[in-house]
Amino acid sequence: MAKNDKCTVSDSVLCNWLDKDCRDCYIHTMKSDEADEVYRNFEVTLSLLPAGFDEIQGEQCRFCKGAVKNPRDGYAIVDLGHGEPEYKKGMIMGYGKKVRQRVGSLMPVSISICSECRASFRLAEAFKWLSILMVAGIAIGLLCVPSIGTAVSDLSAALPFGIVLFGGAVGYFFGKVFSNLYVKAKSGKTAFNIFDIPLGAEMQRKGWFTMQDDGEVTRVLFSKKPYTRKLADIGYKPQ
């Protein structure tokens, strides 16, 4: 028996992927041709995924480099976008020009990560902030020494603030330097860029890109649960 015989996508891969009660699902508020379009678009999105997509959220850490991979302790989530399927926006009441949008597909890819690799990601990020706090803290500490503080504020009342801000900027610079050094030192053990992971590289070849591009270390979100389902679980066989 169909889950919902009033819904055109009932029991399809899309229905399984959304995995929702019909009352909470946005599809049932759509006209059937709109729902069909959503379904066709979803099929295009699925066809853009590499054959080994499920392995990325498997039992082993995908960020561990080398032969021995640690067991998964959670997931790193990264939003990947793709130009397909074509999606146009911008026409109002038939006027104006439809503009093709950069993103046709958006996939919150859930990648298995071990506790060690997660700690490395967090430390690479923490270096930047710790360094700002430290240098600004040292500047504040020096200004609190009465003889220094009075001498500086005698020159200009705004100067102490300027010095703290300058300290923050110096900290920011050194934070980036330390973070880069740390990433370099650790990069033999951990992949910091998701496109350094073989499956990530395959997705990049298929046209996927990160929504927030910020260089060497991919910005990820950590979660105990995956944000996506496995293709095998929704009854889809990648080509």
Radius of gyration of the chain, Cα coordinates, nearest whole angstrom:
25
Compute the distance between CA of residue 190 and CA of residue 66 in angstroms, rounded to an integer. Answer: 9
Taking the least distance from each CB to Zn ion, the nearer of 43 and 73 is 73
CA distances 77 to 50, 56, 239, Å, are 17, 11, 24
Minimum Å gap between C-beta 186 and Zn ion is 11
Minimum Å gap between C-beta 77 and Zn ion is 16
Compute the distance between CA of residue 65 and CA of residue 188 in angstroms, rounded to an integer. Answer: 7
Taking the least distance from each CB to Zn ion, the nearer of 18 and 114 is 114
Residue of 131, 11, 111 whose CA lies nearest to 64: 111
Please give the sequence-ordered ranges of beta strands (E in DSSP) within the chain, or none if there are none: 74-82, 88-89, 99-100, 105-113, 209-210, 221-223
Taking the least distance from each CB to Zn ion, the nearer of 64 and 135 is 64
Cβ atoms within 10 Å of 124's Cβ, excluding its own? 20
Minimum Å gap between C-beta 70 and Zn ion is 5
Taking the least distance from each CB to Zn ion, the nearer of 80 and 117 is 117
Which residues of this chain interact with Zn ion, rule CB under 5 A? 61, 63-64, 70, 114, 117
Taking the least distance from each CB to Zn ion, the nearer of 74 and 175 is 74
Q: Which SS3 state, helix, strand or coil, does residue 219 take?
A: coil
Taking the least distance from each CB to Zn ion, the nearer of 114 and 164 is 114
The torsion defined by the Cα of 126, 129, 134 and 139, in degrees rounded to 10, comes to 170
Minimum Å gap between C-beta 181 and Zn ion is 20
Taking the least distance from each CB to Zn ion, the nearer of 72 and 82 is 72
Cβ atoms within 10 Å of 197's Cβ, excluding its own? 19
Minimum Å gap between C-beta 177 and Zn ion is 25
Minimum Å gap between C-beta 111 and Zn ion is 10
Minimum Å gap between C-beta 65 and Zn ion is 8
Q: Which SS3 state, helix, strand or coil, does residue 39 take?
A: helix
- The dihedral through the CA atoms of 27, 230, 114, 203 has a sign that is negative
